[in-house]
Homo-oligomer: A and B are copies of this chain.
Amino acid sequence: MDVAYINPFIESTLRSLDMMAGIKADKIGLELKDDHITAYEISTIIGLTGETSGSVIISMPTSLACKIASNMLMEEIQSINQNVEDAIGEIGNIVVGDARRTLMQDGHSLNISIPTVVIGAGHRISRPGNVPCIAIPFRTEFGDFEVNVGITEN
């Protein structure tokens, strides 16, 4: 996978969380994954099509999801509900949409699907084995989370 595809997602994650929810995050690693994604309690999945095909999965613990939703909606939310699910889908949409804009400015063409949100303690997410996936863990004061970018060039 062309590493040029990764940086826009790192930057858009940091920017979107800060802008939309006032939460500062630090990238704490970057690894190529070929096994299952170890997911947190809530994940949002956005499909990519165009000159590349793939998906972006953002997984996080309940604590961080509630904090993001609380800050976006300006009300205190303690547990996962419809508002939190919508907020996490929306954050996924913004992160991937922002990265897409950067990639298109660099001459790439890609389209993104609407986000789906998966909720469930201990859910796992699997991707076709032939699609390389880069996992990017981040740290915030409300918990760690992970952005997974899996792209194959068509």
A residues with a Cβ closer than 8 A to B are 45-50, 53-55, 57, 82, 85-86, 89-90, 111-129, 131, 150, 152
| Residues of chain B with a CB closer than 8 A to A45's CB | 45, 47, 116
Q: Is the CB of B54 within 8 A of A89?
A: no
Q: Is the CB of A116 within 8 A of B126?
A: yes
Q: Is the CB of B86 within 8 A of A129?
A: yes
By secondary structure, the A interface counts as strand
Q: Is the CB of A116 within 8 A of B57?
A: yes
Q: Is the CB of A116 within 8 A of B86?
A: no
Q: Is the CB of B116 within 8 A of A120?
A: no
How many whole Å from A118's CB to the nearest CB in chain B? 5
In the complex, what residue of chain B is closest to A119 when comparing beta carbons?
B124
Q: Is the CB of A127 within 8 A of B114?
A: yes
Q: Is the CB of A128 within 8 A of B54?
A: no
Q: Is the CB of B150 within 8 A of A111?
A: no
Q: Is the CB of B128 within 8 A of A89?
A: yes
Given contacts A113-B113, A114-B53, A114-B152, contact A86 B120 (CB under 8 A): no
Can you list 27 A-B contacts (CB < 8 A)?
A45-B45, A46-B47, A47-B55, A47-B113, A48-B113, A49-B49, A49-B111, A53-B113, A55-B114, A55-B116, A86-B128, A86-B129, A89-B126, A89-B127, A114-B127, A114-B128, A114-B150, A114-B152, A116-B126, A117-B125, A119-B123, A119-B124, A119-B126, A120-B120, A120-B122, A120-B123, A120-B124
